[in-house]
Amino acid sequence: MDTALDRAVRVFRERGYHATSIGDLTAAMRLATGSIYKAFRDKHAVFLAAFERYTARRQEQTRSAAARGTNGRDRVRNLLLSYVAQSQGTEGRRGCLVVGSAVELSAVDSVVAARVGAQLKTNEDFIAGLIREGQADGSIPGHVAADDTARLMICITQGLRVVGKARLPLDGTRLVGVAMKLLA
């Protein structure tokens, strides 16, 4: 069932919520219509489960990318580099369920809106924490405004997903090189 949900994640990422029909889901999840409705109340419940699975996995990836750094500054850099990599090529074209949900659903679906907002807040807090770590270990100047900088970096990461979905090429080294000025 978890592998079926992974396949649902993929379809929702590529097509979004409304453009994904139950037929698309049966084909992708390799489950018949009745089986899907036996496992989930309706299409919306499938989406919510897929969303949760996606964010859990992404959070894992993001944190392990950050963990590869040796100090606060390096951890932020690695996090940003990981986001650029995720926003590019095949993976980038596949899209991000969080930005997809924010754009397509958060205006009309308060349940999804709440989860999107919570996810963004979690990521923002994580980045702010990394910045404070950097200030503690001396790799980031103390005058950097951690919260404001974290919020701007969230905008950068979400914007990367939009631009990546639009197929614009993204040079990780150069882009992140520029972005690191925010920690000066």
Partner DNA sequence: TTTATTAGGAAACAATCATTCCCTAATAAC
Partner DNA sequence: GTTATTAGGGAATGATTGTTTCCTAATAAA
**164 near 87, Cβ under 8 Å?**
yes
Q: How far is the CB of 25 from DNA (least distance, A)?
A: 8
| Between 17 and 83, CB nearer to DNA | 17
d(CA 48, CA 97): 11
Helices 2-15 and 43-67, interaxial angle, to 10°?
A: 90
* 16 in contact with DNA (CB under 7 A): no
**For the chain, how many residues are written?**
184
Nearer to a second copy, 67 or 155 (CB): 155
Under the criterion CB under 8 A, does residue 146 sit at the interface with a second copy? no
Q: How is residue 45 written in tokens?
A: 């419940």
Instruction: Tell me which residues in 36-65 interact with DNA (CB under 7 A).
Output: 37-39, 42-44
Asked if 89 touches a second copy (CB under 8 A), the answer is no
Part of the chain binding a second copy (CB under 8 A), chosen from 27-35, 42-50, 132-140, 153-161 = 153-161
State how far the Cα of 16 lies from the Cα of 101, in Å rounded to an integer: 8
Selection from 170, 83, 85, 89 nearest residue 127 by Cα: 83
Task: Answer yes or no whether residue 178 interacts with a second copy by CB under 8 A.
Answer: yes
Q: Contact between 175 and a second copy (CB under 8 A)?
A: yes
Q: Contacts for 38-47 with beta carbons within 8 Å, 24 or more apart? A: 39/1, 44/109, 46/8, 47/12, 47/17, 47/112
Amino acid (1-letter code) at residue 12 = F
24 near a second copy, rule: CB under 8 A:
no
Which range, of 31-39, 41-49, 57-65, 106-114, touches a second copy by CB under 8 A? 106-114
List of residues contacting DNA (CB under 7 A): 1, 20-23, 30-35, 37-39, 42-44
